[in-house]
Amino acid sequence: MIRKGAKELGMSEFKHIVRLLGKDLDGTQKVVFALNNIRGINKRLASALVRKANIPFEKRLGFLSDVEMRRLEETLANIENLGLPSWLLNRRKDLETGKDTHLTTADLDLKIKQDIERMTSLRSWKGYRHSYGLKTRGQRTRSTGRTGKVVGVKKKERAAPVGGS
């Protein structure tokens, strides 16, 4: 009986760690769940990207062939041009360009930081809350969101009795 190797069966060798968009991903996870570990990509967008790249949902990331990896990288690079609905993208109606875009990894962090700086320089209410380190989305702050020292009432020290006994 002759055993066929992984190459003859059409499978490439298994990669335990796969690098995509500057992030090391676990090769043992299914492709959709592995893409979730990239900042800016959630489960719904990951499943849409896998569908557009024609990759089986049950396939593990470490077993992807070079052709499938290239297709996946191309779809990740051109998320805006895939014909996905705009509600899947994380940067709709950008203030500078007016277009719907999708940001991932360091680009997303940089844009969020720029947005916060713009709000604080305009002295909008949200910017004011950001600058003072308070909650910005209408939550109550009387009893939650406390950081640092304990907030409360300080009791006075009791005076020692004057007489001895």
User: What value does the CA radius of gyration of the chain take, rounded to a whole number of Å?
Assistant: 26
Q: DSSP 3-state assignment of 91?
A: strand
User: pLDDT (tens digit, 0 to 9) for every residue of the chain, 165 residues total?
Assistant: 455 545 544 556 888 898 988 889 999 999 999 999 999 999 999 999 999 999 999 999 999 999 999 999 999 988 888 888 989 998 888 888 888 889 888 989 999 999 999 999 999 999 999 988 888 888 888 888 777 666 566 777 777 777 765
In this predicted structure, what is the pLDDT of residue 1?
44
Q: DSSP 3-state assignment of 94?
A: coil
In this predicted structure, what is the pLDDT of residue 120?
93
HEC readout, 11-30: CCCCCCEEEECCEEEECCCE
Burial string for 130-147 (b: 16+ CB within 10 Å, else e) reads beeeeeeeeeeeeeeeee
In this predicted structure, what is the pLDDT of residue 113?
93
> Global pTM?
0.70
In this predicted structure, what is the pLDDT of residue 12?
62
**Contact status, residue 23 vs residue 38, Cβ threshold 8 Å:** yes
